[in-house]
Amino acid sequence: MAPLGRLNASEGMATPLAQEAREKLFATLGSKPVHHTLANHWARIVELLYAAERMQELSADPEIIDPHVRAVPTETPREGIGVVEAPRGTLIHHYQTDEKGIIRKANLIVATQNNAARIALGVGKTAKALVREGKISEGILNTVEMVLRAYDPCLGCATHSLPGRMPLLIQLRDRQGRILATSYRDSEGRVHNDVL
């Protein structure tokens, strides 16, 4: 579940400015649930506003500097599981260690995996709406990237690519799977057509 899913499922925000921003989102885009792909970005802003308000609240809380906030383990941990909601969606980490505390098994399920089906549907829908007469324009490459980043804004950091510079390959295929046209954007942002 990503930010828009969380806002759709929630009854409200716990801080006043974030609640106001949430109400504006739904007033502008319609009642719940909102399914507009690019609304994920707006939902992230609402959550960031909540986080900023909450940090301000916590900074004024005297318990925040209590020396007993953290429990230091006295034994070597053997297994740990963590689940956290992040701007890109749910992150799940599971680690197992040996008797020395050295990680021997790690299983990470990140939002890219959780969002893969929605990304594929969004890319397919975008391609069907924009590809005409077998031509793949640079604008289509940018729009496909925009769909990817709506679900996974961290993909740019993960691939060290700025918007418009993420390497991207689009192949147009016929019903038999034969390649009819190819468009490729390299890591420098240059577009190449009909090149594999």
Same-domain check for residues 127 and 183: yes
Q: For the ranges 18-27, 40-49, 58-67, 164-173, which has the lowest average pLDDT? A: 164-173
Q: How far is CA 99 from CA 76, 103, 172, in A?
A: 7, 10, 53
Q: Which residues contact 81 (CB under 8 A, 6 or more apart)?
A: 92, 93, 94, 95
Overall number of domains in the chain:
3
Q: Which residues pair with 92 in a beta bridge?
A: 83, 109
What is the mean predicted confidence (pLDDT) over 91-96? 94
Same-domain check for residues 101 and 121: no
Same-domain check for residues 101 and 123: no
| Counts of helices then strands in the chain (DSSP H, E) | 6, 6
Report how far residue 123's alpha carbon sits from residue 147's, in angstroms, rounded to the nearest whole number: 6
Report how far residue 25's alpha carbon sits from residue 188's, in angstroms, rounded to the nearest whole number: 36
Residue 179 lies in a domain: yes
On the question of pLDDT at 192 being above 50, the answer is yes
Q: Which amino acid is at 97?
A: T
Asked if 166 contacts 179 with a C-beta cutoff of 8 angstroms, the reply is no
Q: What is the mean pLDDT of the chain?
A: 86
Q: Which domain holds residue 98?
A: 73-109
Same-domain check for residues 100 and 128: no
- The tens digit of pLDDT for each residue in 117-132 reads 888 888 888 888 888 8
Angle at CA of residue 94, ends 9 and 90, nearest 5°: 20
Q: Enter the tokens of residue 32.
A: 């719940």
- The tens digit of pLDDT for each residue in 4-16 reads 888 999 999 999 9
The model scores a pTM over 0.85:
no
Same-domain check for residues 101 and 136: no
Q: What percentage of the chain reaches a pLDDT higher than 90?
A: 34
- Give whichever of 57-61, 102-106, 173-177 has the largest mean pLDDT: 102-106
Report how far residue 28's alpha carbon sits from residue 6's, in angstroms, rounded to the nearest whole number: 18
Q: Which residues pair with 173 in a beta bridge?
A: 179
Length of the chain: 196
Report how far residue 126's alpha carbon sits from residue 58's, in angstroms, rounded to the nearest whole number: 43
Same-domain check for residues 103 and 122: no
On the question of pLDDT at 196 being above 50, the answer is no
On the question of pLDDT at 159 being above 70, the answer is no
Predicted local confidence at residue 164, as pLDDT? 65
- The tens digit of pLDDT for each residue in 15-31 reads 999 999 999 999 999 88
Which residue is associated with the tokens 């034994």? 75
- Give the H/E segment covering residue 191: strand 191-193
